[in-house]
Amino acid sequence: NAGVTQTPKFQVLKTGQSMTLQCAQDMNHEYMSWYRQDPGMGLRLIHYSVGAGITDQGEVPNGYNVSRSTTEDFPLRLLSAAPSQTSVYFCASSYSGLSGANVLTFGAGSRLTVL
C-alpha cells in the first residue's frame, strides 16, 4: 500500500503563476484534507472533503481551490501564487472515527517556494 502520495515534492513558482498539487490515496478513506505548515504556526487546515463531490473550507482557504471528483484524488490548486503561499503542504486522508475527529494519515509533503 502506498498510503497517501503527493506530487511534486518540490516546486518553485513565480508570483502570479498557477499550479496544482496532486494528492492520491489508496486506502479508500472517505475524508481528505490539505494542511500547510509554516514555522511556529503548526499545521493549518486549508480545505477538506468528506466524500466525493463534497468540499469545504478550513482555516486558511483564500487563494486555494479544491475539487473531489473521485474518492482517491484531492488536488489543491493555487490560482495566482503569492510569496505568502511559500510553505510545506501536506495532504492527509482519514476515515470517520469515534472521537469526533479522524486519525489522519499524511503524505510526505510538497515544499513550495513562490518568488
Partner 1 sequence: QQPVQSPQAVILREGEDAVINCSSSKALYSVHWYRQKHGEAPVFLMILLKGGEQKGHEKISASFNEKKQQSSLYLTASQLSYSGTYFCGTPRAGNMLTFGGGTRLMVKP
Which parts of this chain interact with partner 1 (CB under 8 A)?
31, 33, 35, 40-45, 48, 50, 56, 58-59, 90, 94, 96-109
C-alpha grid cell, residue 92:
492527509
CA dihedral 64, 51, 28, 95 (to 10 degrees): 90
Residue 55 contacts residue 67 (beta carbons within 8 Å): yes
Reduced to 3 states (helix: H, G, I; strand: E, B; else coil), residue 110 is strand
| Residue 94 CB, nearest approach to partner 1 (Å) | 7
| Residue 98 CB, nearest approach to partner 1 (Å) | 8
Q: Which is nearer to partner 1, 15 or 108 (CB)?
A: 108
Q: Which is nearer to partner 1, 16 or 97 (CB)?
A: 97
| Residue 88 CB, nearest approach to partner 1 (Å) | 10
Q: Is 110 exposed, middle or buried (0-12, 13-18, 19+ CB in 10 A)?
A: buried
Q: Which is nearer to partner 1, 63 or 109 (CB)?
A: 109
Q: Which is nearer to partner 1, 85 or 94 (CB)?
A: 94
| Residue 69 CB, nearest approach to partner 1 (Å) | 19
Alpha carbons 49 and 66: distance in angstroms, whole number: 9
